[in-house]
Amino acid sequence: MPPSARWGSWRWHFRRRRRPTSTRRVISTAVGWAIRSRPEQHVDVPEIDIATTVERLAAGAAIVDVRQPDEYAAGHVPGAPLVPLAEVPERVAEFPSEGEVLIICRSGARSARAAEFLRTQGIDAVNVAGGTMAWIEAGHEVATGDGLGA
């Protein structure tokens, strides 16, 4: 094979390389698969809208945000602590075991996965449909920052 042909295939090889995947995406995907890989433990997750969320928060329900820290810092429901989806299985002991726990994310997909997992652990978790996007769209107040203080 002439050197030019080998050089061409070598150059093609480098163009075909994929970008490295972020650690956050790998962990989030792995947690999602782990949560969904137990069909025998599948449970139905109740889902509530924003108006019902406001009522339940006023009645004393807890709320937890399962987005990533940068999303949380950009805007979150006031008083909602952050537990990223990838950390939910290892931090399950931090969730209240008594009473209802509302789970929120950006649009409702990640929170549904987290709520399903938490319900298999005996926690009364409820998914907030529409997530933080629906919360903001409804005109409710949002807090910014990481929640850890200055």
Domain ranges in the chain are 3-137
Q: Which segments in the chain show pLDDT lower than 70?
A: 1-42, 147-150
pLDDT at 85: 96
pLDDT at 28: 66
Evaluate whether 88 touches 31 at the Cβ level (below 8 Å).
yes
Q: Copy the structure tokens of residue 88.
A: 């939910």
Q: Copy the structure tokens of residue 90.
A: 């290892």
pLDDT at 43: 76
**Cα–Cα distance measured from residue 108 to residue 54, given in angstroms and rounded to the nearest whole number:** 16
Beta-sheet pairing, 62-65 with 47-48: unpaired
Give the architecture (CATH level 2) of 3-137: 3-Layer(aba) Sandwich (3.40)
> Is 105 one of the annotated active-site residues of the chain?
yes
Work out the number of other CB atoms within 10 angstroms of the CB of residue 67: 24
Choosing from 48, 104, 105, 128, the catalytic residue is 105
Query: What is the DSSP code (8-state) at residue 127?
Result: E
Q: Copy the structure tokens of residue 89.
A: 């299985």
